[in-house]
Amino acid sequence: MGKSENISALNANTDLSDCHPSHQILFEPVQIGPVVAPNRFYQVPHASGMTEANPRVRAAFRETKAEGGWGVVSTGAVSIHPSSDDSPLPFARLWNEADIASHALSTEAIHRHGSLAAVELWHGGAAVMNRTSRLPPLSPSGISWAATHVGFMGQLRPKKMTGADIDEVLHWQRLATRRALDAGFDILYVYAGMGYLGYEFLLPEYNHRDDGYGGALENRVRFVREMLEVTRDEAGNRAAVALRISLEELRGKASDHYESEAHGVVSLLSDVPDLWDVKMDSSPTDCGASRFRPEGAHEPIINFVKRVTDRPVVGVGRFTSPDTMVSQIRRGVLDLIGGARASIADPFLPSKVRCGNSDDIRECIGCNICIASWHDGVPVRCTQNATAGEEWRRGWHPERFRRVKTSTSVLVVGGGPAGLEAALTAARQGCDVTVAEQTDDWGGRVLQESQLPGMATWRRVRDYRVWALSQMGNVSMYTNSELDAESALSFGADHIAIATGARWTKRLYSALEIPSEPLERAEVYTPEDVFAGHVAGDRVLVFDYDNYYLGGVIAEHLATKGKHISYATPAGHASAWTFMTNELPFVYQALARRNVAIHTTTNLIAFDGQCAALQNLFNATPMEIAVDAIVIVGHREPRDTLFQALQHEGDETHRTAVQLLGDALAPGAIVHAVHSGHSFARGLVDDTAIYLRDEPVVPAEPLAAFPKQ
């Protein structure tokens, strides 16, 4: 692997001899109050889905980033009190001694590599429903967050905070600060963003108070100021104090005394925190998917902060290019380069830049499957990095691989995401690898889908792996190579991995909410026909019960070809599952720009070549749409013909192990295909069948109630 083999060793020193001269500024230390970040790479707070239920999983996940060179490694949201309870969404806590011990596992792991550990102390205010604690949520004026998606809806409305409530929250912040210090954190956050309690005091829409905490901007910043002051008072010189703040809405508000209310807030609190962590207001705009938000998209909102404060500023923008990072610093936008998704996709990004090996960066594709894992309430997943969340559970490291003990050969049939990942991981473990792809290029579904509107960045899944494989001497790669069972066996490989993908079908959707009989007509198409440019007709209905991005993107794509497009789905939203990846609002905006008519909770019943018969999924109200063609985006079936043939061909004279991978095993999202390929290859060295199960750190004796505050 060349330079990347020595990444860990380089991480421990300040040698910049291999670093490109223009990138060396990224490795300058930065003073943050009483502590010093060893470089400008800052893993900002982000959810991991691991919580106190999986403290060892969490510690290993964060440690890998410190080992990879991130100078600061932060937690996700850490609740300061049971009145900030986000369940069933995963969240961390600092409520008692056991929580201190749980977080100490992470801080000790981060400190082993010379990085600073930051904790995002958090109170959710009216944005949490306290489903488990059943305590009334807190709000400056009793204004609730009226979420429109069922996963965030709740029926317990917040109480209007009294002065005593404010004093209690300040006290809880003080206690949480003590616990954070005892756990070993170096940077302590006050959170005033993303709709949470501090943010609610800042915004007049939430804050209708007529006391010293409401009204004029100078009053609305008071709560955040006092949270910062109580944190600093408790921390002293033992840790830095950071403010994480959303500025999008505030920047859009006019002010009598400042350029905007965002300018006013930063001016009024300019010298109070040791660090400004600046971001957007909502998850879809803050963590925008690459389909709709380019790298560095936050800059127009947060670019003024360094002009108003002399304290260091960190921000994000799905930064993967070192040149873009350097530009942000030299132009005075940021002092520290924040990374959440980029640090998940490649925990060793900083060390690769230091090594002068930027080509080896596994760049984030902005698919936001990591965010979907938080919505799902599970440990973080990543399309680009199959080892994310598996560092402790399976012992997978993103840059280190156990070598095979004896000569092992592997034939991978299929050059899509599963096949390429299997080939690369097997090769890194010392196997002799041959990859055969039946088409004239690599990438499979990634190559096809990346040509659709907004999807170009997803091609990184293909490009990174093809480039990495091309650097290895133990890999042979062949395109235009369709193999049958006899030719596959003729390679004499010890292992054959069948990664031949899946095919889309024309199956309709049953009232039982499962695929039903296919609609076999010449005017009915699948996504493969779209990729091949075979969809005829001027009026096209896209019928989507896959419910992820592809149906919406195909509708958008066909509309760009001048076709009149209707979109129908049995789900409650167009591309319904994209709510999980922060894309849903922008899906609707994109379809509206293309004049796509949307019909939700609608099922396709029949089609005669001229008219599509539809009906409401719940009340069977009929509807007809005049169309020339239909594209069905619904059910996929594995392409496993070669696997079945090999099963029949095998006998005692052939000792080849044959295994299905990715969509050929079980159709899913690209993240599942990559994980499947990686898991297969790791299994060539380590045959561990299942992951380790973590256990929470618990008190010596169960607590009868919440600890006294």
Estimate the crossing angle of helix 549-560 against helix 584-593, to 10 degrees: 20
CA distance 113 to 70: 9
Closest by CA to 461, choosing from 476, 447, 475, is 447
> Which residues are CB-neighbours of 418 under 8 A, at least 6 positions away?
499, 501, 661, 662, 663, 664, 673, 674, 676, 677
Query: In the chain, what are the domain boundaries?
Result: 2-376, 409-501+639-683, 509-636
pLDDT mean over 31-59:
97
Q: Choose the CATH number for 2-376 among 3.40.190.10, 3.40.50.300, 3.40.50.150, 3.20.20.70.
A: 3.20.20.70
pLDDT mean over 516-521:
96
Judged against a pLDDT cut of 90, whether residue 3 lies above it is answered with no
Judged against a pLDDT cut of 70, whether residue 149 lies above it is answered with yes
According to DSSP, residue 87 is labeled: T
* Helix (H/G/I), strand (E/B), else coil: 191: strand
| Tens-digit pLDDT profile for residues 108-134 | 999 999 999 999 999 999 999 999 999
**Residues 443, 462 contacting (CB under 8 angstroms):** yes
The H-assigned helical ranges of 151-282 are: 163-183, 197-202, 217-220, 222-235, 248-251, 261-268
Position 464, amino acid: Y
Domain 409-501+639-683 has CATH 3.40.50.720: yes
Single pTM value for the model: 0.95
| Tens-digit pLDDT profile for residues 7-24 | 343 345 579 999 999 999
Query: What is the percent of the chain with per-residue pLDDT over 90, rounded to a whole number?
Result: 92
According to DSSP, residue 18 is labeled: T
pLDDT mean over 230-245:
98
Q: How far is CA 334 from CA 161, 223, 265, 330, in A?
A: 36, 26, 18, 8
| Tens-digit pLDDT profile for residues 568-584 | 999 999 999 999 999 99
CA distance 222 to 210: 13
Length of the chain counted residue by residue: 709
Judged against a pLDDT cut of 70, whether residue 4 lies above it is answered with no
- Under the banding of pLDDT at 50, 70 and 90, the label for residue 154 is confident
| Tens-digit pLDDT profile for residues 649-672 | 755 545 679 999 999 999 999 999
pLDDT mean over 594-600:
98
Judged against a pLDDT cut of 70, whether residue 704 lies above it is answered with no
The pLDDT value recorded for residue 426 is: 98
The pLDDT value recorded for residue 11 is: 44
Fold of 509-636: FAD/NAD(P)-binding domain (3.50.50)
Q: Which one of the listed residues 42, 191, 196, 206 is annotated catalytic?
A: 196
∠291-295-298 over CA atoms, to 5°? Answer: 105
Q: How far is CA 707 from CA 172, 290, 699, 702, in A?
A: 12, 44, 11, 11
The pLDDT value recorded for residue 702 is: 66
**Residues 494, 426 contacting (CB under 8 angstroms):** no
The pLDDT value recorded for residue 2 is: 38
Judged against a pLDDT cut of 80, whether residue 365 lies above it is answered with yes
The pLDDT value recorded for residue 410 is: 98
The pLDDT value recorded for residue 703 is: 62
| Tens-digit pLDDT profile for residues 290-341 | 999 999 999 999 999 999 999 999 999 999 999 999 999 999 999 999 999 9
**Residues 214, 162 contacting (CB under 8 angstroms):** no
Task: For the beta carbon of residue 473, count every other beta carbon within 10 angstroms.
Answer: 7
DSSP per residue over 293-358, as a string? --TTTTHHHHTTHHHH-SS-EEE-S----HHHHHHHHHTTS-SEEEESHHHHH-TTHHHHHHTT-G
∠279-284-288 over CA atoms, to 5°? Answer: 75
∠336-342-348 over CA atoms, to 5°? Answer: 85
Position 229, amino acid: E
pLDDT mean over 203-226:
98
Position 7, amino acid: I
- Backbone phi and psi for residue 689, each to the nearest 5 degrees, phi listed first: -80, -30
Residues 261-281 as b/e (b if ≥16 CB within 10 A, e otherwise) read: bbbbbbbbbeebbbbbbbbbb
Q: Strand 92-93 to strand 159-160: parallel, antiparallel, or no bridges (unpaired)?
A: unpaired
* Helix (H/G/I), strand (E/B), else coil: 628: coil
Judged against a pLDDT cut of 90, whether residue 467 lies above it is answered with yes
> Which residues are CB-neighbours of 358 under 8 A, at least 6 positions away?
20, 23, 322, 352
Active site residue 196: yes
Q: How far apart are the first and last CA of the chain?
A: 53
| Tens-digit pLDDT profile for residues 535-552 | 999 999 999 999 999 999
pLDDT mean over 393-405:
96
Output the six-digit token pair for 396: 């997978």
∠159-162-165 over CA atoms, to 5°? Answer: 85
**Residues 658, 646 contacting (CB under 8 angstroms):** yes
The pLDDT value recorded for residue 686 is: 85
In this predicted model, which residue has the larger pLDDT, 96 or 1?
96
CA distance 422 to 435: 10
- Backbone phi and psi for residue 177, each to the nearest 5 degrees, phi listed first: -60, -45
CA distance 336 to 329: 8
The H-assigned helical ranges of 210-260 are: 217-220, 222-235, 248-251
Closest by CA to 187, choosing from 44, 307, 388, is 44
Average per-residue pLDDT for the chain: 95
CA distance 570 to 599: 9
Judged against a pLDDT cut of 70, whether residue 460 lies above it is answered with yes
